[in-house]
Structure 1
Amino acid sequence: MAIRTALFSKVLRDRSLEEAAELVAEIGYDGFEPMCRDPHLDADRSLEEVTAFRDHLDDLGLEVPCLATYTGHYVGKTREECEAELETFERFLEFADVLDCGIVRHGPGGPPVREATDDDYEHAASWLARAADRAAEYDVTIGIEIHAHTIAETVDSTQRLLAEIDRKNVGAIHDAGNMYITLDDFGLASVRELGDNLVHVHVKDEQRIDDPDRPGAFELETDDGLETFQPRLLGEGAVDHGPLFDALAEAGYDGYVTGECHVPRDELEDEREVAEHELAELNRLLG
């Protein structure tokens, strides 16, 4: 099966959930990855609403490769807070069941790897194992996104966490844009090291810059100190996705690649142009 394309609905965050899906289908994506917070697929949605949305997606010919939740972040939380995260996560498992979606994003949180302790990994792994056991009841895989400023910000640290969780239905979401920030390899070596633990792929472009006042710029503390980054359109930043896509082909990856460009926009028409650009670039990389 060929690699398929999806769009993260956060790119179209100024539209309703239904309007965003309609535009994604019109542009020509294969899938739609909902942002699981207001104004899109937040946990307060009823199952009736989610069922109606599933029918809408069926009419549009769109699949849901992953639910992009913001749940988890167990490191540093009390037992009561962790239990609450689990309950919210299970709500999204119910949504995934309705939407015929096999992956739900759920993360460990925590400090960056350079500050993380063994206790941080142990704490996160124990709660993620509980989450995985709940997810298994829905035939769902947990996707842990490789993300800066978490204990899973590199391939090595993510692999360590997955080993400590020790559940077959937990894997990694590859994100070259995030890995560029932490200076982790995001090409062939990353895909080979993740192996069967690679369950989903996010794609976005970033650029290191000197001016924090440029549109969309954000600052993060890295191993090299405080640095400034700016989201860019795919193919116009510093993240060369070519080797990644070659590696995905070599590995026989047959899932989705989800575009999640964070370039700031002013108008709804700008959103459309961003979504169209990202698909064109994804298709070029896949070609």
Structure 2
Amino acid sequence: MKWSVFTVATPDLNPEELAAAAHEAGVEGIEWRFKEIPEDVLQEGPSFWRHNRCSIDPRGTEEDWLRFDKVAKEYNLRSIAVVPYLTCGDIEGTERVMKAAKLLGASFIRAGIPGYDRSETYHDLYKQAVRYLESVERLAADYGIKALVETHHKTIAPSAGLAHKLVSHFDSRHVGVLYDPGNMVHEGYENFRMGLELLGPYLAHVHVKNAGYRMTKSENGRNTEWIGEWVPLSHGIVSWPQVIADLKSVGYDGYLGIEDFSGTYPSKEMLKHFVQQMQEWTK
């Protein structure tokens, strides 16, 4: 297996700093965050989802985008993905991401799928997603870039099973699944090996992070609630040694991509800790 980093997790580093730190840590691949930084947050400190300094601006030119290809190659790293925050049905935006990914020599992007908040039925949202992915599959075939559905809480694909239900309509050469066990702590837990066996050829990439639960009182103060929160890799609900063993059992030999939101370590130290931990667990 190989190691990668999704730059959402390194918001304080610019692309050049990230590439240098990744190379030093032993990371081999980069998943570039594809999201503009709003003008009104530029004076804020770095943050994962707002002022993230390691992001490709979708509004940029090809010359702007090639900066990221250049810094990756300078440190002998591979740009494996361009990762946007697409809305289901946004074909124009999806094609723009495909163009950026092809320019950088990346292998995949993340597709947009509907969120689930009880305002629309799962069945209606599922139909919307299938229609969108039909168009995405055609784009993926044209550009030679695979589109991935991520297992993610608060969407219609929180588990391997529900992600598989979506992607099983499509050719696994063009549409696949980004498997994220950390997200599945919040919602969507299934036995890891069973889910991986189900995904089969659709398993395309894996994100590495962990989460746990914290007990709190409800708003009325009379009931107990459990809130999911991000924690260090070795301290959460996900048993990463077990996940790695299950990945090996299905023959997965791709990238494991760090996406640690726990804030336990500064970015550079986090990358080093990630590689050291993965090397220990994959022996």
Do the aligned partners of residues 135 and 284 (structure 1) sit closer, same or farther apart at CA in structure 2, a change above 3 Å counting? Answer: same
Alignment: residue pair count? 260
Could you say what secondary structure the match of 1:68 adopts?
A: strand
Q: 2:65 pairs with 33, 46, 50, which one? A: 50
Which structure 2 residues correspond to residues 167-178 of structure 1 after superposition, within 5 A? 168-178=173-183
Amino acid at match of 1:245: I
Structure 1 counterpart SS, 2:182: helix
* Structure-1 separation of matches of 2:119 and 2:239: 25
Matches within 5 A, 1:98-247: 98-111=103-116, 116-164=121-169, 168-211=173-216, 227-247=226-246
Q: What TM-score do the two structures reach when normalised by structure 1?
A: 0.83
What amino acid is aligned across from residue 9 of structure 1 in structure 2?
A: T
**Match in the other structure for 2:86:** 71
Corresponding position of 2:75: 60
Q: Is the 8 A contact 1:113 1:152 kept in 2?
A: no
Unmatched runs of 5 consecutive residues or more in structure 1: 75-81, 213-224
Range moving further from structure 2, 32-41 or 136-145: 32-41
Which residue in 1 is equivalent to 2:263? 264
- RMSD of aligned alpha carbons: 2.2
Contact 1:187 1:241 in 2 (8 A): no
Aligned-residue offset at 1:264:
2.9
Give the C-alpha shift of residue 141 in structure 1.
Answer: 0.6
Instruction: Classify 1:15/1:233 alpha carbon distance in 2 versus 1 (closer, same or farther; 3 Å).
Output: same
Distance 1:186 1:66, change over 3 A: farther
Corresponding residue for 1:8? 6
Seen in structure 2, the aligned counterparts of structure 1 residues 227 and 116 have a Cα distance that, compared at 3 Å, is farther
Give SS of 1:67's match. Answer: strand
Separation in 2, partners of 1:115, 1:280: 44
1:274 paired with 2:274, answer: no
CA distance in 1, matches of 2:241, 2:252: 15
Indicate how the Cα distance of structure 1 residues 167 and 197 shifts in structure 2: closer, same or farther if over 3 A, else same. Answer: closer
Identity, % of aligned positions: 24
Amino acid at match of 1:179: M
CA contact (8 A) 1:132 1:167 kept: no
C-alpha contact 2:153 2:188 (8 A) present in aligned 1: no
Residue type of the partner of 1:122? K
Per-residue CA deviation, residues 63-111 of structure 1 (Å, 9 max, x unaligned), is: 1222221113x2xxxxxxx3xx221221111111111111101121221
Secondary structure of 1:171's match? strand
Deviation at 1:275, TM superposition (A): 2.1
Distance 1:115 1:127 in 2: 17
Shift of 1:226: 5.8
Please report how far the alpha carbon of residue 172 of structure 1 lies from its aligned counterpart in structure 2 after TM superposition. 0.7
Unaligned runs of 5+ in 2: 38-52, 218-223
How does the TM-score come out when normalised to structure 2?
0.85
